[in-house]
Every structure is written in C-alpha cells, then in structure tokens.
Amino acid sequence: MCQIFTKNYTKMSNKTKRFILPEEEIPRYWYNIQADMVNKPLPPIHPATKQPLKAEDLFPIFPEECCRQEMNQTDQWIEIPEEVRDMYKYYRSTPLVRAYGLEKALGTPAHIYFKNESVSPMGSHKLNSALPQAYYAKQEGTTNITTETGAGQWGAALSYAARLFGLEAAVYQVKISYEQKPYRRSIMQTFGAQVTPSPSMSTRAGKDILTRDPFHQGSLGTAISEAIELAMMTPNCKYTLGSVLNHVGLHQTIIGLEAEKQMAMAGEYPDMVIGCFGGGSNFSGIAFPFMRHTILEGKQTRYIAAEPDSCPKLTRGKFEYDFGDESGLTPLLPMYTLGHNFRPANIHAGGLRYHGAGVIISQLLKDKMMEAVDIPQLETFQAGTLFARAEGIIPAPESSHAIAATIREAKKCIETGEEKVILFNLSGHGLIDMAAYDQYIAGNLQNYRVTDDDLNKSLADADALNK
C-alpha cells in the first residue's frame, strides 16, 4: 500500500507564517522506517533463554496490533484506523510555523521552522500514540490499561485516550514528579485515571525497590516495572508505553508526514531536522518521514537529536543489550544505554530522564544516519526563554533542548552566512512547568553533567548481561 502525495503544493507567499493542511490532506498512513532501513534493528531477546522474541511473545503485555507493528520490518505504510483518524482531526494538522521572531532575535540568515505539537489538547505530541494504543486495546477486548509516566505528559494523554475509548487507566508516576508536578497528577485524575507514585508498595517490584532503597525517588525504570507487573497480574489488562518502542515512533510519524507537506507549501526542504530526545518518539516522528528520502533518494539532510547532558545515552552511552526497566521485567533490547540502573539527576525536563534509546534510533545512530548533541540544563532554559519572548509560546523544558540545538546551528549560519533551512519539533508547551521557569528566573537551576565514573558504574550491570 502506498502513501499518496496528492498535490504539488503551490508555494504560498514569502511572508506566510503558519501552514495548516486541509482535513483531507491529513495522512492516512503512518510511515514504518524499519521496512526501508538498510541494517535492520537487532531483535529483542528473552533475558533467560537469550532467544530472539517474536511478536506473539509480547502479546500478554501489549495490545496485539502494537506487537505486530513493533516487529514489522516489511510494510512501509501502515494504515491509521478510521476511529483514530477521526480523533486526530480534533487537533491535526498541527501548524508548521516559520519562526521569523526567533530568526530576528538571533540575527541569523537561517530559515527556522517549527512543527507545533503543543496545540494538542494535552499540550504535547504524546496523544498521537495514546489514541491508537487505547483504540487497539479496546478493539481486542481489553478493559484496563496501565502505564508509567515521568513528568506526566504521557500519563495525561493516555488517561484521556482511555476515557475516550471506555477503558480504565492505572498510571504509575515517577515519585519525584508526582510530588513536584501535582497539576499533571490532577489532570490524569480529572480524566478518571488512578495515579500511584512509583516506587510504591502496591507491586512486588515496587516493594523490592523500596526495600533496597527506602528513599528511592523513582525513575521511568521503576514505574515501568510496576506497570508491567500490574498488567501481567490483572486479567484483561494491557500495558502501554509512551516512548522508546518502535510502534510508538511509528504512530508519531504523523508529525513528519504532515511537516513534509507543509514544508512543500512553504516551498522549502529542511537541511536539518531537530528533535529533543527522551526515548525517541517525537524525534522519530519528525525525522523518519524525511529520512525516508535520505535512504531511498540520497537526500542530504542532517538529523540531530538533542538530549540533556545529565542523561546522555546517545552521546556517551554504550550500544549493547539492556533492560528497558529497573527490575529487568522487559525483554533485552539492543540500544544505546546508560545502564538500566542509571539514576538521572532531577532536571526539569522529566520526559528526557530515561536511560536508553529506542532500538531503531540506536541502529540509525550506529550507522551514522543521524547525530546527537547533549545540552546542559541552563542552556535549555536560556533557549526556551528566548523562544518564548520571540514566538509567544512557552516551550516544555524537554522541547527547549531542540530549541537550544536549533539556536546552536542558527548561530553557525551567522558565521558562514548560509541560509540553511532548519526544522525542529516543538514537542509540547511548558504551561504546567512554570515552577521550573520560576527556579530558572530566581537563579536556582544548575547543570548536572554526568561523570565518566558514574557512567562506568551504571553500565556495569548492563555489561554483565552481554557476557
């Protein structure tokens, strides 16, 4: 099945600021980059038997259609169910915006565009995957879904999607965010989800973690362990994940597929595509549809993932098999990792505090199809503040990593005088993160660069798994 690019768009005026697609132009298929990759990602393996997993092995945990999508290395295009497309229409297409204000503030000859995913009802790109995951779960007769959430964006999106499709949602929220970001918890509860801070005493995994360390502040790794355990112990309950996995990145390609058409409306094509990086879903979403042209037609585009220097799996992690969670309940995944026991500093970009990268991204980085940069916290808040003043949108601290990387590149263009076209993904707004901005304004934020010693320590357990 083939995605039909219906139009040769006529270029709009040079001063057009915002590009929106008519409803009938919203893509009807997601793009599955696995089908086009020259080197396919290595398979996930069973931790005990060390055998490669098949889609069926994941059926007890995830909705079955998600498992098939996870392992699909043959179909380039996967149809978006009509019920999901109907819900997409409430907020898609999201605008592609020419950031004239930011260009002017920087004095750069670069043309900067951003895809504004912050206009979704939940304020971030997460809903793009929450909707299909809840839909597939419902289709398959599931009544309950469970998940983890860090800063709360994924939990909020999933709680809403569960409500839409008539499912009960149980969310494990990383304890430190549960305490620091009470509004995200209230959002989830408003949609009717049950929210538990992780690690908790409600699961075996949580109890074990708390026995080892009663003051554990929680991490995505601990929350994933608890949510998976709940899904495995509860009948008619499936687990969902908001990042890292292939099918999540697949759902997010709606971002880049729209952006491709919108860039055509602007009469431009990006020299660089930039996204912030937690587990890889929004970066995959914006980058893969463009990377398709690099793989198939040799288009010269740079793809840059921006991660925090306090959680630098792409720039300083190691490519090896590791667990996706703290307790070792997930399959072993071949990925760039900091070790599943890595404890990232409490930076405000909670959505980027994950120890590993998705397996597709990991393979692409290994094959030098993309690049990564790591950015200190203070630079991201500087960038976010500059962007807010220039464009009127307060970015999520996660998204500010993409903005900071964009600003670095736009400044290089000042030196060289090149009019490079830069496209970045604004993954979300920061209106529920104002406590973080308060601390920045008060001068109370700091950088947390990881030391080599810490990295070597946290990688020891992962190294042992690869012996």
Ligand X SMILES: *Cc1c(COP(=O)(O)O)cnc(C)c1O
Binding site for ligand X (CB under 6 A): 124, 126, 153-154, 243, 276-283, 351-352, 396, 398-399, 427-428
Which residue's CB is nearer to ligand X, number 292 or number 313? 313
Q: How far is the CB of 106 from ligand X (least distance, A)?
A: 22
Nearer to ligand X, 111 or 117 (CB): 117
Nearer to ligand X, 53 or 287 (CB): 287
Closest residue by Cα to residue 394 from 385, 405, 407: 385
CB of 135 to ligand X, least distance (A): 19
Residue 126 Cβ vs ligand X, minimum distance, rounded to whole Å? 5
CB 328 within 8 A of CB 345: no
Rounded to 5 degrees, what are φ and ψ at 73? Answer: -110, 15
How many CB atoms sit inside 10 A of residue 74's CB? 8
CB proximity list for 91: less than 8 A, separation 6 or greater:
119, 120, 121, 127
Helix axes 246-265, 127-139, angle to 10 degrees: 130
Smallest gap from residue 281 Cβ to ligand X (A): 3
Concatenate the DSSP letters of all residues of 289-316 into one string.
HHHHHHHHH----EEEEEEETTS-HHHH
Contact 158, 147 (CB under 8 A): yes
Distance in Å, CB of 109 to ligand X, minimum = 28
* 124/380 with CB nearer ligand X: 124
d(CA 373, CA 401): 9
Neighbours of 190 (CB within 10 A): 12
Instruction: Show the tokens assigned to 224.
Output: 């994933």
**Closer Cβ to ligand X, 169 or 352, answer by number:** 352
- Residue 375 CB, shortest distance to ligand X, in Å, is 13
* Residue with smaller CB distance to ligand X, 124 or 330: 124
